[in-house]
Amino acid sequence: MRAFDKVAATHCRVGESLVWDGETEGLLWCDIHAGRIYRLDTRTHALEEWQLPERIGSFGLADDGRLIVAMVSGVHLYDPANGVLTFLVDPEPEQSGLRPTNRLNDGKVGPDGAFWVGSMHSDGFTAALYRVTADGRSERKVSGLGTSNGLAFSADGTTMFHSDSKQCWIDRYDFDVRTGDLSNRTRIASPGEAEGRPDGGATDIEGRYWSAGVSARRINCFAPDGALLTSMVVPPKRPTMPCFGGNDMRTLYFTSLRNPNDASEDCGDVFRTRVEVPGVPVPRFRTRAHSVG
């Protein structure tokens, strides 16, 4: 039987956006609706937290020590040392004030050094996936989404995985590291509620895609072609995002959410388990603007 350890009992309403910092052996995540980012020092077990003024969809590490953060008002750079927020761009300015439930959601720094972030819309399939660079440019890359989620990239940077939690599918793209272009979109899996509606994602060095099956208490591992290889039942009812970390990148961490109407003691907390294949490290956002093409 697989062993799971609880690493933080933060009881997040919606724990998300796990990030491993290999330089400091720190594990970071956010509670979306609380607007709070946590950092756990995995060596000392000291827990820090930073309060931001809005809901947080996702964030990543930047190459200058700051964080790149997607919030309700757009994408910002945040300095944990002094609390300074620097606005970068709002990928969806037309959504401002339209519906309070429409916002930016899952995001991850890509192998091109850009921040890839999607949105979620309650009013149909009008959300999208964007590529954000340090010069404040935002480029729409994928349209027709309900809840953009599950971003992850292969070890060689040539493949991107992406899911839609509302439409229940996982797609694979060819990825051009030099330009950030996407091509050859392929639907590899369509897991439903019983199998685990796809939420956050991560990849290992063998090209497998690990998906949080938020509706089924599972972490699912898919082959690059979409074949289901492993389905782990986990302690919290609703796991939200996996992330690889540890010195050998063989520790699989994952966040979870806490439904006020249906929660167990483990819901909203962060867990870990050990896996055989190391995960792919996530790059840092390039804070110096760079052009494509």
Output the 3-class SS for 87-120.
Answer: EEECCCHHHCCCCCCCEEEEEEECCCCCEEEEEE
- Active-site annotation holds for 176: no
Contact 268, 256 (CB under 8 A): yes
Catalytic residue among 31, 199, 204, 266: 199
* R_g over Cα of the chain: 17
**Which residues lie closer than 8 Å to 216 by C-beta, 6 or more apart?**
193, 194, 195, 196, 197
CA-CA-CA-CA dihedral for 104, 106, 110, 112, to nearest 10: -10
Token readout for 101 is 């439930």
CA neighbours closer than 13 Å in the CB half-sphere of residue 103:
17
Burial class (CB in 10 A: 0-12, 13-18, 19+), 81: exposed
CA 76/CA 241 separation, integer angstroms: 22
The residues assigned a catalytic role are: 199
